[in-house]
């Protein structure tokens, strides 16, 4: 069975995801976005297992130290340079395929869902993967300055679902910033 890859991201209107190593809207906090991120990435479908989060080295270090590793999840950091996991992380992998191999070998008995949590090049690899994919996208409706971007979500490759369990369809508003949640699924060829 081919494993579904789940991606989760919050984007500005121009698909910007980061600025200077942080979120574009930093120091504003979008707490309902964080809450959805935590709920979706930490809740396994199979009791007794844990979800896996796969992230780039810069995304790992963008998480405040006190919140690393992301709790109740198996944290895999991608790096071509690091030979050992950075302090607090569970695993390091030298490329995306190696991270997925780890999930299907060493972690096969305890891993549940795989969540890709950024940044740019890892999202790009996920978007180009032949595996079935699901994307949870927070559309932030205000433009902030960005230096890191999410790839285009092509309508011929991904369809927007009308609804998804556990994901609110309401427009969210916090600290003067409006945003809404969207869920996409890949259209398998
Ligand atoms: N808005 C959101 O939802 C969201 C989500 C995540 C991140 N962000 C933001 O995005 C920014 C960080 O993202 P980024 O794109 O700059 O960096 P990143 O992808 O998190 O990290 C880049 C590093 O990851 C490693 N890497 C990337 N692809 C790899 C691969 N295929 N194989 C092995 N290693 C790989 C390399 O590490 P080495 O240099 O060690 O080899 C590379 O330098 C921050 O501003 C963060 O706040 C936003």
Chain segment 79-129, per-residue pLDDT in tens: 999 999 999 999 999 999 999 999 999 999 999 999 999 999 999 999 999
Q: 169 CB less than 6 Å from ligand 1?
A: no
Task: Using a pLDDT cut of 90, give the percent of the chain over it.
Answer: 97
The per-residue pLDDT for 1 is: 58
What digits encode the pLDDT tens for the residues 136-150? 999 999 999 999 999
Residue 21 Cα to ligand 1 midpoint, Å, equals 9
The per-residue pLDDT for 164 is: 97
Q: 94 CB less than 6 Å from ligand 1?
A: yes
Ligand 1 nearest atom to the CA of residue 11, by list position: 1
CB-CB contact of 92 with 79 (8 Å) = yes
The per-residue pLDDT for 2 is: 80
Query: Within the chain, where are the H helices?
Result: 31-42, 57-62, 96-104, 120-128
Tell me how crowded residue 94 is: count the other CB atoms within 10 A of its CB.
13
Residue 132 has pLDDT above 90, yes or no: yes
Q: pTM above the 0.95 mark?
A: yes
Among 15, 25, 117, 121, say which to mutate for ligand 1: greatest number of ligand atoms within 8 Å of CB.
121
Structure tokens at 156: 């011929």
Mean pLDDT for 21-27 is: 97
Residue 184 has pLDDT above 70, yes or no: yes
What digits encode the pLDDT tens for the residues 34-56? 999 999 999 999 999 999 999 99
Q: 53 CB less than 6 Å from ligand 1?
A: no
Residue 141 Cα to ligand 1 midpoint, Å, equals 23
The whole domain housing 148 covers: 5-186
The CATH number of whichever domain residue 141 belongs to comes to 3.40.430.10
Q: How many folded domains does the chain comprise?
A: 1
DSSP 3-state of 46: coil
Residue 127 Cα to ligand 1 midpoint, Å, equals 15
Compute the 3-state secondary structure of the chain and give helix, strand, coil in percent, each to the nearest 5.
20, 35, 45
Question: By CB neighbour count within 10 A (0-12 exposed, 13-18 middle, 19+ buried), where does 93 fall?
Answer: buried
Mean pLDDT for 63-72 is: 97
What digits encode the pLDDT tens for the residues 9-23? 999 999 999 999 999
Q: 115 CB less than 6 Å from ligand 1?
A: no
The per-residue pLDDT for 188 is: 83
CB-CB contact of 17 with 146 (8 Å) = yes
Residue 75 Cα to ligand 1 midpoint, Å, equals 14
């Amino acid at each position: 069975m081919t494993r579904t890859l789940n991606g989760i991201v919050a984007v500005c209107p121009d698909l910007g995801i980061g600025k200077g190593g942080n979120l574009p809207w930093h120091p504003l906090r979008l707490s309902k976005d964080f809450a959805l991120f935590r709920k979706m990435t930490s809740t396994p479908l199979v009791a007794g297992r844990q979800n896996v989060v796969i992230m780039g080295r810069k995304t790992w270090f963008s998480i405040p130290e006190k919140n690393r590793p992301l709790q109740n999840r198996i944290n895999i950091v991608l790096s071509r340079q690091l030979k050992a996991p950075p302090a607090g992380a569970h695993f390091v992998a030298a490329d995306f395929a190696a991270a997925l191999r780890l999930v299907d070998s060493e972690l096969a008995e305890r891993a549940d869902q795989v969540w890709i949590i950024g940044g740019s090049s890892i999202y790009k690899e996920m978007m180009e993967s032949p595996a079935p994919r699901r994307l949870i996208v927070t559309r932030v409706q205000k433009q902030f300055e960005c230096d890191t971007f999410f790839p285009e979500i092509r309508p011929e490759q991904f369809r927007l679902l009308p609804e998804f369990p556990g994901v609110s369809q309401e427009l969210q508003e916090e600290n003067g910033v409006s945003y809404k949640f969207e869920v996409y699924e890949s259209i398998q060829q």
